[in-house]
């Protein structure tokens, strides 16, 4: 599955209709979660049936306006949240918990294990259509939304060419609202495969704050400077937002500015990380990484770290994507002791975070701290491969398929246009 994205150009009234459709999608999802909590919905099939109940109810006249398959798509989203909760309960994965005391005392485990939540209003939201409710024009430059909201025809802005694919390959169309406008994502049923010659190289990557990664040959990739620059800008905008009056117009504007700044950062980061991941996969026959838990990563409050964590998370998603494209295995290994153990003799050499060099008292091996860790990561990956059992399941969630379009997010034409309108 690949995803192409285009910006939608329409009138203010049309965008309002999109807002209605997005709101209705959320309403369907939340209603089904509610019905599940009230024991009215017990299976995916019940969830589908509940969609029809909502659509025919005179209480919610708007629910019937959304395309029926789109309603189902949102029922699927709701049910996915329920299933994830069940799965977590079974696997005894702990989610957020309020305190150590509440652990084990709550019967339903609401505070842990990811109990499904109701969605609140957010700027970043989407509505999902399946194969009906929309129509592409003959030239594939216009998208017409044909369901009850009558949003009408939008011009598609973007450089990706939808002509290359058959209409029946487009399995879903998602309308995404962001701080800087509305986008259409086309989910296309297509498996990308590229040829790759063997390079005879295997690589282990260790992530850090000082460098984006260090490999087992001692090569370091620096964090790009723009991350630091963007961070400053975001800090400034956050300060400005906090100074505005609640519910004022200025607050709305400030929030939008901050949202746009975040979007810009994430696009640049994604672009950089995508190219880096492709390079790494193309020049190696095997890639070993640490299986870092995203949940643990996001916990810290330091902005610099959270930005680089997000970059690492994306990097890993792209590695896994290109792994499929080029047929290069990406193996995630348990991160414990990778930086402590000696990669030469295996003895544990305890060091603090500030110790930058690894000096082994047992075998006199000296190496850069991160390089030593990268070698350990590669070694444990190969060990895992040889035992053939323990291919660590990747932690990265697959909910949002990667969008290929980031490579060329906005066409030059749109960019110019936006600049002149400011």
Q: Which residues bind Zn ion (CB under 5 A)?
A: 342, 344-345, 360, 362-363, 365
What is the closest distance, in whole angstroms, from the C-beta atom of residue 332 to Zn ion in the complex?
A: 25
What is the closest distance, in whole angstroms, from the C-beta atom of residue 349 to Zn ion in the complex?
A: 7
Alpha helices by DSSP H, 143-248: 225-243
What is the closest distance, in whole angstroms, from the C-beta atom of residue 363 to Zn ion in the complex?
A: 4
What is the closest distance, in whole angstroms, from the C-beta atom of residue 336 to Zn ion in the complex?
A: 18
Beta strands across the sheet bearing 142-145: 125-129, 170-178, 181-188, 2-9, 152-157, 142-145, 134-136
Q: The dihedral of CA 40, 132, 154, 405: what is its sign?
A: positive
Q: Which is nearer to Zn ion, 15 or 365 (CB)?
A: 365
- List C-alpha distances in Å: 320 to 105, 147, 160, 324, 401: 39, 36, 23, 7, 11
Q: Which is nearer to Zn ion, 177 or 358 (CB)?
A: 358
Residue 379, H or E segment: helix 369-387
CA distance linking residue 382 with residue 340, whole number of Å: 19
Q: Which is nearer to Zn ion, 87 or 362 (CB)?
A: 362
What is the closest distance, in whole angstroms, from the C-beta atom of residue 346 to Zn ion in the complex?
A: 7
Residue 188, H or E segment: strand 181-188
> Between 225-243 and 249-282, two packed helices, what is the crossing angle to 10 degrees?
160
What is the closest distance, in whole angstroms, from the C-beta atom of residue 386 to Zn ion in the complex?
A: 22
């Amino acid at each position: 599955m690949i995803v192409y994205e285009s910006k939608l150009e329409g009138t203010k009234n049309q965008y309002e209709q999109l807002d209605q459709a997005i709101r209705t999608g959320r309403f369907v999802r939340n209603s089904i979660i509610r019905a599940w909590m009230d024991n009215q919905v017990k299976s995916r099939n019940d969830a589908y049936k509940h969609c029809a109940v909502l659509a025919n109810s005179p209480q919610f006249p708007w629910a019937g306006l959304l395309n029926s398959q789109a309603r189902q798509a949102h029922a699927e989203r709701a049910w996915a949240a329920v299933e994830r909760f069940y799965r977590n309960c079974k696997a005894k994965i702990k989610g957020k918990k309020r305190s150590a005391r509440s652990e084990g005392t709550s019967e339903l485990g609401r505070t842990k294990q990811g109990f499904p939540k109701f969605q609140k209003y957010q700027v970043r939201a989407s509505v999902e259509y399946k194969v009906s409710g929309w129509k592409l024009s003959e030239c594939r430059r216009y998208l017409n939304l044909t369901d009850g909201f009558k949003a009408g025809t939008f011009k598609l802005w973007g450089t990706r060419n939808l002509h290359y694919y058959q209409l029946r390959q487009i399995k879903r169309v998602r309308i995404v609202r962001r701080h800087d406008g509305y986008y259409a994502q086309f989910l296309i049923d297509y498996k990308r495969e590229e040829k790759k010659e063997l390079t005879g190289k295997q690589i282990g990557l260790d992530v850090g704050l000082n460098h984006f990664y260090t490999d087992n040959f001692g090569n370091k990739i620096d964090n790009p400077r723009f991350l630091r620059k963007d961070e400053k800008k975001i800090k400034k905008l956050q300060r400005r937002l906090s100074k505005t009056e609640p519910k004022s117009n200025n607050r709305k504007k400030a929030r939008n500015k901050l949202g746009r700044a975040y979007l810009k950062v994430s696009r640049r980061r994604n672009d950089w990380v995508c190219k880096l991941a492709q390079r790494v996969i193309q020049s190696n026959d095997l890639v070993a990484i640490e299986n870092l838990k995203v949940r643990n990563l996001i916990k810290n409050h330091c902005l610099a770290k959270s930005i680089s964590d997000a970059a690492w998370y994306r990097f890993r998603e792209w590695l896994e994507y290109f792994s499929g494209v080029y047929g290069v295995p990406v193996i995630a290994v348990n991160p414990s002791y990778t930086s402590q153990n000696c990669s030469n003799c295996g003895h544990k050499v305890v060091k603090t975070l500030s110790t930058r060099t690894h000096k082994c008292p047992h075998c006199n091996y000296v190496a850069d701290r991160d390089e030593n860790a990268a070698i350990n990561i590669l070694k444990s990956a190969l060990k895992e491969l040889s035992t053939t059992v323990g291919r660590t399941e990747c932690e990265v969630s697959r909910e949002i398929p990667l969008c290929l379009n980031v490579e060329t997010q906005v066409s030059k034409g749109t960019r110019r246009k936006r600049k002149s309108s400011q």
